[in-house]
């Protein structure tokens, strides 16, 4: 099966910009979605189909894809953005399956 690789942790100063990446061969064929998860809470969808935001998600969240890498960018990070972020997509070797990245812990300093 395919894999999605994420950096384990990144930090960002309050108000600055942070980019979280997700790498995998499946991203050449299938779009990525991104989820935010805070401790003890269920995940929340923040970006889908590369760069679409569900209603209620602030526009400081944006997504992009280039080649085998999808990115989630937080422009002007806020304290409440501190969370784990997961990417996911279809499995490139079997598109009936879904896969998640290992997650990135974002710390807002």
Contact residues for other proteins (CB under 8 A)? Answer: 1, 30, 33, 35, 37, 42-45, 48-49, 54, 84, 86, 88-90, 96-103
In the complex, the smallest distance separating the C-beta of residue 69 from other proteins, rounded to whole angstroms, is 17
Cβ closer to other proteins: 25 or 76? 25
* List of E strands, the chain: 5-6, 9-12, 18-23, 33-37, 44-47, 61-66, 69-74, 83-91, 94-100, 104-108
Note the Cα 55 to chain centre separation in Å.
17
d(CA 42, CA 56) in angstroms, rounded, equals: 16
Cβ closer to other proteins: 43 or 76? 43
Cβ closer to other proteins: 18 or 99? 99
In the complex, the smallest distance separating the C-beta of residue 91 from other proteins, rounded to whole angstroms, is 9
Cβ closer to other proteins: 23 or 76? 23
Please answer whether residues 19 and 87 qualify as being in contact, where contact means their C-beta atoms are separated by less than 8 angstroms: no
């Amino acid at each position: 099966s395919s894999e999605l690789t994420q950096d384990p942790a990144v930090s960002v100063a309050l108000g600055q910009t942070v980019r979280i990446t997700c790498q995998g061969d499946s991203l050449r064929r299938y779009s990525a979605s991104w989820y935010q998860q805070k401790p003890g809470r269920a995940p929340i969808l923040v970006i889908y189909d590369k760069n679409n935001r569900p209603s209620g998600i602030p526009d400081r969240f944006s997504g992009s894809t280039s080649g085998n890498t999808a990115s989630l960018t937080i422009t002007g990070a806020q304290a409440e953005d501190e969370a784990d972020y997961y990417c996911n997509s279809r499995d490139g070797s079997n598109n009936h399956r879904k896969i998640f990245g290992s997650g990135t812990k974002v710390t807002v300093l």
